[in-house]
């Protein structure tokens, strides 16, 4: 039988907690708080957030990277996977996702749509988890785009990179 310490003799929470600690019982029974079930973000919400993030990255490249290339007289016409512009643009892409996700748990696109990345195992996203999710996971998702659609069919709406990193994207509670 569970004893409700919070209602006993109209005591404060601190007094109740201290009383629970001082009992000789090896088990401390405190009132339970209801668990908050996350509302996982579906494929389409994540898709629109990702498109907005791509527009932001395109803007960053256009406002900062291209002018530097022009100022240094580096050709932008050489198109290829290993061109200087492609490498710098790719670096901006990955740094944007890694830094925004680690520092804020969300990118600008996710902020606009009220989404947030959470760890399913820890209370906070670690650097290793974020680099793995956003670095390696994004590379796989960008290379094999159809794998991103997996998020539409999993119970927690996880894409492949979420499954590998034990993360999920949820709607923020306001």
Task: Looking at the structure, tell me whether residues 18 and 64 fall in a common domain.
Answer: no
Does residue 87 form part of some domain? yes
Task: Looking at the structure, tell me whether residues 65 and 123 fall in a common domain.
Answer: yes
Task: Looking at the structure, tell me whether residues 71 and 143 fall in a common domain.
Answer: yes
Q: What is the pLDDT of residue 8?
A: 46
- How many Å is the maximal CA-CA distance in the chain? 79
Q: What is the pTM of this model?
A: 0.75
DSSP assignments along 38-95, one per residue: P-B--HHHHHHHHHHHHHHHHHHIIIIIHHHHHHTT--S---STTSHHHHHHHHHHHH
The domain in which residue 99 lies consists of 43-171
Res 6 pLDDT > 50: no
Does residue 38 form part of some domain? no
Number of domains into which the chain is organized: 2
User: pLDDT digits over 124-157, tens only?
Assistant: 999 999 999 998 888 887 788 888 889 999 999 9
Work out the percent of the chain whose per-residue pLDDT is above 90. 53
Res 100 pLDDT > 60: yes
pLDDT band at 76 (very low <50, low <70, confident <90, very high): confident
């Amino acid at each position: 039988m569970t004893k409700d310490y919070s209602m006993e003799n109209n005591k404060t929470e601190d007094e109740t907690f201290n009383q629970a600690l001082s009992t000789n019982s090896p088990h401390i029974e405190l009132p339970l708080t209801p668990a908050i079930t996350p509302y996982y973000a579906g494929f389409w919400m994540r898709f629109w957030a990702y498109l907005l993030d791509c527009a932001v990255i395109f803007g960053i490249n256009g406002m900062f990277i291209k002018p530097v290339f022009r100022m240094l007289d580096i050709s932008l016409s050489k198109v290829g996977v290993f061109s200087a512009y492609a490498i710098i643009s790719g670096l901006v892409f990955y740094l944007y996702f890694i830094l925004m996700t680690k520092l804020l748990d969300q990118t600008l696109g996710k902020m606009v749509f009220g989404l947030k990345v959470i760890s399913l195992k820890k209370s906070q996203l670690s650097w290793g988890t974020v680099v793995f999710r956003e670095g390696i996971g994004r590379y796989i998702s960008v290379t094999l785009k159809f794998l991103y659609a997996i998020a539409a069919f999993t119970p927690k709406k996880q894409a492949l990179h979420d499954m590998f990193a034990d993360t999920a994207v949820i709607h923020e509670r306001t």
